[in-house]
Amino acid sequence: MNMECGRETTVQCREEISLSQIAQSGQCFRWTEVKREDGQYWWRIPAFRRVVYMRQEDKEMGRLHVSCSRDEFEHVWAPYLDWDTDYRAIRAGIPENDVWLREAAEKGAGIRILRQDPWEMMITFILSQRKNIPAIRLCVDKLCRAAGDLLGEFDGEEVYAFPTPAQVLSLRCHKIGAGSCSADDAGPCTFAQKGIGSCSLGYRMPYVHAAAVFAAGGDDGGFSDAFRELASLSDEDLLTALMQIKGIGIKVASCIALFGYHRLNTFPVDVWMKRALAEHYPKDFSIDAFSPYAGVLQQYMFCAQRAEGAGRR
């Protein structure tokens, strides 16, 4: 019996699933790989105001060891991992003649589209713009430490929940408001007080503020009606509604829809996707060919293109 872990459960997926591939797929920015007291490397995953550990052996593409009860896994983490979606069937639908994509999909067969918190995805991808992935991780971590609730101490470090809209607004940094602010503004600045500058938000600070204003609502620090209604919109209407928020353009809106609302046919086009399309597809190619799971295929493409790029640079 492992006293530290409390419990450990082994679960078996019916198809491939790879924690390391998911961690590298650019959709989650808070996973941390840690060596625990049992000598094993685990992914420490904070989400939904909880923390769970997961690991798997090298050749166990479908088996997971998790640090929670079977009941919690089934109700919280299996949905998070999109446990029941048939990704093999999705890969089987890739056009026969698209050899590059078929190869990319086989290499990335363990990727899942996580069902993450929509609000967290909204803020995360707003601040992702013009940042590389390590910088996004750093920025999200700073924001959680500055504004989120302490969940506890894990592996010798404090882990914080992702802040609520009200908590983001409560930062009251003089730079976060929409209006300009002179350097001698003596107003409160929680960011500075905590010694973390401005959470590295940079010019995205008013965008984060605008999203928090949109999402904040209710007297209980919950979400606004406008925010809650997003979930019921069609894919197209969801993108349009998201883009009404200053700082959310088509790419960020697509990421929010794909990773926060599990709209598997939305196809975020970033610099990597532009390279992939330029290098592997004809100029007049239409991504309609990727329907109805364009978003899943996009993740295979994203990982494959980044792997190619890493070799050249």
Partner DNA sequence: ACCCAGGGCCACT
Partner DNA sequence: AGTGGCCATGGG
Q: What is the maximum span of the chain, computed from C-alpha positions, in angstroms?
A: 63
Indicate the pairing of strand 222-223 with strand 63-66.
Answer: unpaired
Under rule CB under 7 A, residue 129 binds DNA: yes
Please select the residue that binds DNA; options are 109, 166, 241, 250, rule is CB under 7 A: 250
Torsion over CA: 72, 21, 29, 261 (sign): negative
| Beta-carbon count within 10 A of 312 CB | 5
* Binding residue count for DNA, defined by CB under 7 A: 39
One of 246, 277, 281, 308 touching DNA (CB under 7 A): 246
Closest approach of DNA to the CB of residue 8, in Å = 30
* Interface pick for DNA out of 212, 255, 297, 304 (rule CB under 7 A): 255
Structure tokens given for 302: 């994203």
Which residues is 160 bridged to in the sheet?
Answer: 150
**Residue 281: Cβ-neighbour burial (10 angstroms; 0-12, 13-18, 19+):** middle
- Give the interface segment with DNA, choosing from 4-12, 102-110, 213-221, 298-306 (CB under 7 A): 298-306
Indicate whether 23 belongs to the interface with DNA (CB under 7 A): no
186: Cα separation from own chain's centroid? 35
Query: Minimum CB separation from DNA for residue 128, in Å?
Result: 4
Under a CB-based contact definition with an 8 Å cutoff, are residues 42 and 55 in contact?
Answer: yes
Told to check if 251 binds DNA by CB under 7 A, we report: yes
| Cα 146 from chain centre | 19
E runs forming strands in the chain: 9-12, 32-35, 41-47, 50-55, 63-66, 150-154, 157-160, 216-217, 222-223
Nearer to DNA, 181 or 231 (CB): 181
Among 5, 233, 273, 277, indicate the residue that binds DNA (CB under 7 A).
273
Contact 238, 263 (CB under 8 A): yes
As measured in angstroms, the least distance from the Cβ of 98 to DNA is: 17
Residues 175-234 that bind DNA (CB under 7 A): 197-198, 200-203
Candidate ranges 151-159, 221-229, 283-291, 297-305; the one touching DNA (CB under 7 A):
297-305
Minimum Å gap between C-beta 121 and DNA is 11
Binding site for DNA (CB under 7 A): 25-27, 125, 128-136, 138, 197-198, 200-203, 243, 246-253, 255, 268-273, 298-299, 302
